[in-house]
């Protein structure tokens, strides 16, 4: 069968995507809300131990049961969401905050600045990201702040590349050339005209990077390099649960589910946003997947 | 072609020099005195000074850097600070764990992703496509170490088919060794396969719309025949690019997966060495990993020329940005 997209297939495809994006956004919002709620209320004190009641199955008082110290799992998952989101959000913000200006600068001024930014990018991509993160947290010591730095550093070249790529094509457009002719400086054009026009691409990339950061934070915490006790994180909960795998698998399943649901929600949202915001993909879809 | 290989080799060498400088620089600022680490905090100052001298730690940094690089080039690696044997002796048995693991994971990734990606593209918009893409969305969201824990739960705890961790060594026979590696390989491979399947699907979709495919179909070939004879080769270029990137993810992934499964491999060695401040092991391993990633990238570039004869003349670098 030759691929011949019919209008119905088109609209159906469009509607289905939008629905999954909505669902993803709703899930991500729910996780964010849970994290915010945990600032003021959790069912129990997440650090309160009750050794007599350890590894308890879900009950009315503990909807998701208790861990090996008798601490309430639901409360710990809620507080863990806070750490995961805070670390990832700040790390992605750091990456975008440095990467986007670098990318804009590289696209505005060709020549050695562009070359230097791109070579820095190549070097950053030459190292496996996780290895660099492990090295950084080893040098600076484990902890949430250093996990933010370690994750933020890989986000710099990603955002620099996306910003530069999106901005480069804009510089040849008539409205930018008009601004140039009107005597606007390159910096001012970058801020006033280029940035708003590449915001869509940056938001899409930001959503995807946010999901990747959640995974990275969980990995670092699992290795014991992320946030330290008494702070709670999903990765560390998994690490602790592995010891009790034979006794109580529930402890190893729940934090992992929390990570998967959050990342899945963000990815669905990011994909949906990309379809809406990236005009190139629209034309691709319109002419039969080219 | 020879010119291209020479250029890529020089670029690789420069990247490795840059990488070694970064690692050396980072480890220079790492707190902790190797002599103090070996002798302990109660060591006398003159003993410490003597050990520093015998280890060359009293030399200026640039001499130590050159001595290290010279050792790497001649294969004379320095002794590990914590194990007290040359790093080479630590490496060989661990490479025998990590390399088969990474290769198994890569093979699984490709074996799953290519057929599923092509199938999804060929059945675009239908149930099979939806199922494959849905599964791949899920696969991308699953952290590999959690997948590893779930596999242990299913195959080691519940079904008791496979060991929950550890490595018996290749001398215990191929069967037990592979049994110890299969779950870690699957845990590494599935999330990467999910990514690769999506890349394959969109790459094949792109090719399906090309003029030469329409010509092939007009000649009377079925879609499958046209894809097999004309399409796949062209669709493979972006796929191979991503595979090259994934190899470096797989290598780095061993750091975490070897911890989940207690495997005595390179990833676990580097993680422990960093924790123990064994800078001799850390710097050698980081350069080794960077070299492996660099070599794979060169191979990826060369494979473009094999896949697409048009790229054999001159434009190899430009072909992928």
Who contacts B211 (Cβ-Cβ below 8 Å, separation ≥6)?
A: none
Burial A205-231 (b: 16+ CB within 10 A, else e): bbbbbbbbbbbbbbbbbbbbbbbeeeb
Say which residue, A85 or B31, is predicted with more confidence: A85
- Chain B contact set for A1 (CB, 8 A): 223
Cβ(A211)–Cβ(A263) below 8 Å:
yes
Which residue matches tokens 């070097």? A123
Distance CA B239, CA B300 (A): 10
Between the two ends of chain B, the Cα-to-Cα distance in Å is: 19
> Using CB atoms within 10 A of its CB, is residue A121 exposed (0-12), middle (13-18) or buried (19+)?
buried
- Across chain A, mean pLDDT equals 83
Residue A191 lies in a domain: yes
Please give the biggest Cα pair distance in chain A: 77
| Residue A8 scores a pLDDT above 90 | no
Phi, psi of A69 (to 5 degrees): -105, 5
Residue A185 lies in a domain: yes
The pLDDT of residue A126 is 65
Residue A127 lies in a domain: yes
* pLDDT tens, position by position, A230-243: 889 999 999 998 88
* pLDDT tens, position by position, B183-205: 999 999 999 999 999 999 988 98
Cβ(B256)–Cβ(B246) below 8 Å:
no
Angle ∠(A123,B255,A151) on CA atoms, nearest 5: 50
| Residue A290 scores a pLDDT above 60 | no
* DSSP character string of A9-30: HHHHHHHHHHHHHHHHHHHHHH
Nearest to A251 by CA among A58, A79, A78, A88: A58
> Three-state DSSP class for A175?
helix
- Chain A contact set for B134 (CB, 8 A): none
* pLDDT tens, position by position, A186-199: 888 988 889 998 98
Who contacts B21 (Cβ-Cβ below 8 Å, separation ≥6)?
A: B65
CATH code of the domain occupying B94-320: 1.10.3720.10
Residue A61 lies in a domain: no
What is the average pLDDT across A260-282? 81
Cβ-Cβ pairs closer than 8 A, A with B, add up to 129
Residue A124 lies in a domain: yes
Cβ(B86)–Cβ(B77) below 8 Å:
yes
Residue in chain A nearest B225 by alpha carbon: A1
Say which residue, A283 or B32, is predicted with more confidence: B32
Say which residue, B41 or A113, is predicted with more confidence: A113
Residue in chain B nearest A252 by alpha carbon: B149
Nearest to B26 among A139, A238, A289 (CB): A139
Cβ(A17)–Cβ(A285) below 8 Å:
no
In total, chain B counts a number of residues equal to: 321
Residue A250 lies in a domain: yes
Percent of chain B past pLDDT 90, that is, above it, reads 32
Say which residue, A135 or A176, is predicted with more confidence: A176
- Residue B314, sorted as left (phi over 0), alpha (psi -120 to 50) or beta, turns out to be left
Least confident of A130-134, A270-274, B208-212: A130-134
Residue A76 lies in a domain: yes
Residue A12 lies in a domain: no
Q: Which of B149, B205, B209 to mutate to test the interface with A (most CBs of A within 10 A)?
A: B149
Q: Which helix (H) or strand (E) holds B175?
A: helix B174-208
Nearest to A219 among B22, B145, B206 (CB): B145
Torsion sign (Cα): B288, B293, A149, A226: negative
Q: What residue spans define the domains of chain B?
A: 94-320
Nearest to A254 by CA among B45, B67, B153: B153
What is the average pLDDT across B231-240? 83
Nearest to B125 among A9, A218, A267 (CB): A9
- Give the number of other Cβ atoms within 10 Å of residue B230's Cβ: 18
- Do A135 and B138 lie within an 8 Å CB cutoff? no
Distance CA A202, CA A197 (A): 10
* pLDDT tens, position by position, A113-131: 888 887 777 777 666 677 7
| Residue B271 scores a pLDDT above 80 | yes
- Do B143 and A215 lie within an 8 Å CB cutoff? yes
ipTM of the complex in this document: 0.83
Cβ(A104)–Cβ(A136) below 8 Å:
no
Distance CA A87, CA A225 (A): 13
Residue A210 structural domain: 23-36+67-285
A179: domain CATH number is: 1.10.3720.10
- Chain A contact set for B124 (CB, 8 A): 3, 289
- Do A135 and B274 lie within an 8 Å CB cutoff? yes
This prediction has a pTM of 0.85
Domain count, chain A: 1
| Residue B207 scores a pLDDT above 90 | no
Who contacts A260 (Cβ-Cβ below 8 Å, separation ≥6)?
A: B138, B141, B142, B143, B146
Distance CA B215, CA B229 (A): 12
Cβ(A176)–Cβ(A194) below 8 Å:
yes
Please give the biggest Cα pair distance in chain B: 86
- B-facing residues of A in 235-264 (CB < 8 A) are 238, 241-242, 245-246, 249, 252-253, 256, 259-261, 263-264
* pLDDT band with cut points at 50, 70 and 90 for residue A9: very low
């Amino acid at each position: 069968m030759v691929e011949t997209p019919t209008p119905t297939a088109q609209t159906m495809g469009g509607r289905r995507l939008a629905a999954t994006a909505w669902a993803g956004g709703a899930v991500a919002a729910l996780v964010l809300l849970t994290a915010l709620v945990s600032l003021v209320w959790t069912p129990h004190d997440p650090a309160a131990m009750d050794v007599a009641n350890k590894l308890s199955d879900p009950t009315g008082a503990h909807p998701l049961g208790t861990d090996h110290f008798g601490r309430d799992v639901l409360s710990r998952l809620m507080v863990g969401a806070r750490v995961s989101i805070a670390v990832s959000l700040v790390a992605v913000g750091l990456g975008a905050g440095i990467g986007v200006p670098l990318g804009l600068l590289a696209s505005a001024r060709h020549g050695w600045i562009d070359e230097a930014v791109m070579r820095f990018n190549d070097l950053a991509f030459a190292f496996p990201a996780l290895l660099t993160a492990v090295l950084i947290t080893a040098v600076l010591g484990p902890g949430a702040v250093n996990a933010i730095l370690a994750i933020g550093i890989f986000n710099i070249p990603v955002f620099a590349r996306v910003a530069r790529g999106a901005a480069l094509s804009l510089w040849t457009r008539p409205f930018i050339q008009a601004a140039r002719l009107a005597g606007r400086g390159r910096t001012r054009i970058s801020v006033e005209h280029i940035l708003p026009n590449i915001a869509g691409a940056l938001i899409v990339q930001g959503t995807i990077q946010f999901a990747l950061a959640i995974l990275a934070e969980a990995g670092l915490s699992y290795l014991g390099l992320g946030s330290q006790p008494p702070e709670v994180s999903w990765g560390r909960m998994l690490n602790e649960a592995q010891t009790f795998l034979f006794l109580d698998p529930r402890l190893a399943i729940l934090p992992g589910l929390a990570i998967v649901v959050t990342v899945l929600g963000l990815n669905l949202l990011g994909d949906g946003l990309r379809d809406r915001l990236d005009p190139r993909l629209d034309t691709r879809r319109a002419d039969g997947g080219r | 072609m020879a010119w291209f290989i020479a250029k890529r080799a020089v670029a690789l060498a420069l990247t490795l020099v840059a990488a070694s400088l970064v690692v050396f620089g980072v480890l220079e600022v790492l707190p902790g005195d190797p002599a103090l680490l070996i002798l302990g905090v109660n060591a006398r100052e003159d003993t410490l000074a003597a050990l520093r001298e015998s280890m060359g730690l009293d030399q200026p940094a640039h001499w130590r850097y050159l001595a290290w690089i010279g050792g790497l080039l001649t294969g004379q690696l320095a002794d590990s600070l914590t194990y007290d044997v040359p790093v080479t002796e630590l490496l060989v048995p661990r490479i025998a764990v990590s390399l088969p693991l990474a290769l198994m994971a890569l093979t699984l990734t490709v074996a799953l992703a290519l057929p599923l990606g092509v199938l999804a593209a060929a059945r675009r918009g239908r149930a099979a496509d939806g199922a494959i893409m849905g599964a791949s969305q899920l696969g991308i969201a699953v952290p590999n170490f959690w997948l590893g824990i779930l596999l242990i739960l299913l195959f080691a705890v519940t079904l008791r088919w496979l060991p929950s961790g550890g490595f018996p060594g290749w001398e215990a026979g191929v069967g037990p060794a592979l049994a110890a590696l299969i779950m870690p390989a699957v845990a590494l491979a599935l999330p990467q396969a999910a990514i690769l399947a999506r890349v394959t699907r969109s790459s094949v979709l792109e090719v399906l719309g090309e003029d030469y495919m329409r010509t092939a179909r007009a000649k009377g070939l079925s879609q499958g025949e046209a894809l097999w004879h004309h399409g796949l080769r062209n669709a493979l270029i972006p796929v191979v690019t991503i595979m090259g990137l994934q190899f470096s993810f797989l290598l780095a992934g061993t750091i975490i997966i070897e911890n989940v499964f207690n495997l005595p491999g390179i990833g676990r060695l580097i993680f422990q060495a960093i924790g123990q401040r064994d800078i001799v092991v850390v710097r050698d391993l980081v350069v080794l990993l960077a070299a492996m990633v660099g070599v794979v990238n060169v191979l990826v570039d060369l494979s473009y020329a094999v896949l697409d004869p048009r790229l054999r003349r001159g434009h190899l670098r430009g072909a992928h940005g």
